[in-house]
Amino acid sequence: MFTKRVLPALVAALIALLAVLLIRTFTPTADQSAGEAFDFRPDSDRVTRLMSESVRFKTISFGRDKPTSATELLAYHDYLEQEFPLVHKALKREIIADYSLLYTWQGREPVSDDNKPVILLGHTDVVPVVPGTEDKWTQPPFAGVVADGFIWGRGTLDNKVNIIGLLEAAENMLQQGLQPKRTIYFAFGHDEEQGGIDGAKVMADVLLKRGVQAEFLVDEGGLVTQGVVPGIDAPMALIAPAEKGIVTLQLKVVGEGGHSSMPPEQTSIGILAAAIAALEADQFPRDFSHTQSFLEAVADDMPFANRLVMKNLWLFKPMVMGAFEGDKQAQAGMRTTTAATMIKGGIKANVLPIDATAKVNFRILPGETPDTVRARVISVINDARVEVTFDGSGQRGMAPSPVSPTEGVGWDHLTAAIRDTAAPQRLIVTPRLLVAATDTRHYRKLTPNHYRFTYMQLEPSDLASIHGTNERISVATLNDTVRFYFRMMSGL
């Protein structure tokens, strides 16, 4: 009796559920169709030479306490002036804060609400080669060797690709008599790798003082790659509309000291260790929204079973989040991460420690701030004996960025240029949270629309070379970088 009435209802419900799942699975989320090819080709030999020679300028940022070579920075300025004569004739170049470069390319039409300027960033400084890894480089890091279809050396990807790409695209446009409708600023900082305080921030302040309000900004931080998501073969353009913040907190416990023969139940080291263990056991809550935007944009390209799941996250989200548990990269995109990185305490094996200190580094997800992080840390540790302060004198960390919209004028210009550069090949354009930091943060007041992306196609295995060993850029992708900027700026 019972089953006769309930079973048909159950079957009907299951069929309805299945229908919903399937309809969602087969309804496209994002238009990921190919762009339109255009016929501009840069002079590949020249572009290769420009990058190779750029690498030889040792514009290394060692940290704010050890200055970057002024000679190298200024020699690089002269080099750019010599190699891009049309740019240096048509654009206004200003040297800001002694070493940063601000170019203004006046637009064809005056600035208005519908014709706001665009800011394009790059940086001329590079990170040092990690001591002890010199002999692991296949080619010397500052020689600019061209071999196997690559230009090798420190700074090729981070970030001389933006400098050469933008200037060469502009030089080509000027050769063809092209001038963008909008005013374009190139802002090339000289200290991105040490925080951008002395260069990028000063340039941003100069622009702000001049009353500049930009439509959008494009900086480094995203790229084209493939193989990121199992089952998707098409290359993906990862654009970062947001980046995480950073804060380091110091935990300090002061003990009474004395001889180790008569210890208290917990020494200052024990109290500190318990505090760190508590933080590791009680991680920050997860926010799936950034991962979800990424997955939704790429889901249409997934094999059926994965697509069914990803397009029905309303049902399967807990399962997907469970699958990402233990995946370091996925976790970094989902929560404020906790990393105990330094610890110090005690002077002798038979002496009770007085001061015990530790440093814990947090990468902050948008939505939180250094202050909310500290407040949560204090509450999780829940022990008044542990003092929690911001590390570094006067430093209170760096808040995460706001999340820029993945629609609107800037997004549309950028994504159209990306698709057209790849055409006739189709690629998937998707937002992705950046877990590192860029100069973009200094420009927050100039526009709410920040996109971190450089058109360079890298094999996943080459990603680690950024700030690592064997940094190199392929000649083919460097040509595409120039084409991309040409296409984007021509449309502005």
Catalytic positions: 125, 192
Query: Near Zn ion by CB under 5 A, which window of 156-164, 376-384, 456-464, 468-476?
Result: 156-164
Residue 159 binds Zn ion, judged by CB under 5 A: yes
Q: Are 206 and 439 in contact (CB under 8 A)?
A: no
Quick one: 232 or 478, whose CB is closer to Zn ion?
478
Shortest distance, position 82 Cβ to Zn ion, whole Å: 24
Q: Count residues binding Zn ion (CB under 5 A).
A: 3
Peptide bond into 350 cis (omega under 30): no
Quick one: 158 or 300, whose CB is closer to Zn ion?
158
Shortest distance, position 439 Cβ to Zn ion, whole Å: 8
Quick one: 158 or 243, whose CB is closer to Zn ion?
158
Quick one: 125 or 300, whose CB is closer to Zn ion?
125
Shortest distance, position 455 Cβ to Zn ion, whole Å: 15
Shortest distance, position 155 Cβ to Zn ion, whole Å: 9
Shortest distance, position 163 Cβ to Zn ion, whole Å: 11
What letter represents residue 202's amino acid? V
Q: Are 410 and 241 in contact (CB under 8 A)?
A: no
Residue 454 binds Zn ion, judged by CB under 5 A: no
**CB environment 8-41: b (16+ within 10 A), e (fewer):** eeeeeeeeeeeeebeebbeeeebebeebeeeeee
Quick one: 158 or 168, whose CB is closer to Zn ion?
158
Quick one: 159 or 421, whose CB is closer to Zn ion?
159
Shortest distance, position 93 Cβ to Zn ion, whole Å: 21
Query: Near Zn ion by CB under 5 A, which window of 62-70, 157-165, 222-230, 254-262?
Result: 157-165
Site mask, Zn ion, residues 194-223, x = CB under 5 A?
--------------------------x---
Residue 158 binds Zn ion, judged by CB under 5 A: yes
Quick one: 58 or 419, whose CB is closer to Zn ion?
58
Shortest distance, position 124 Cβ to Zn ion, whole Å: 10
325 CB-contact burial (10 Å; exposed 0-12 / middle 13-18 / buried 19+): exposed
Length of the chain in terms of residues written: 492
Query: Near Zn ion by CB under 5 A, which window of 69-77, 151-159, 246-254, 351-359?
Result: 151-159
Site mask, Zn ion, residues 104-123, x = CB under 5 A?
--------------------
Shortest distance, position 154 Cβ to Zn ion, whole Å: 11
Quick one: 123 or 487, whose CB is closer to Zn ion?
123
* Residues lying near Zn ion in the complex (CB under 5 A): 158-159, 220
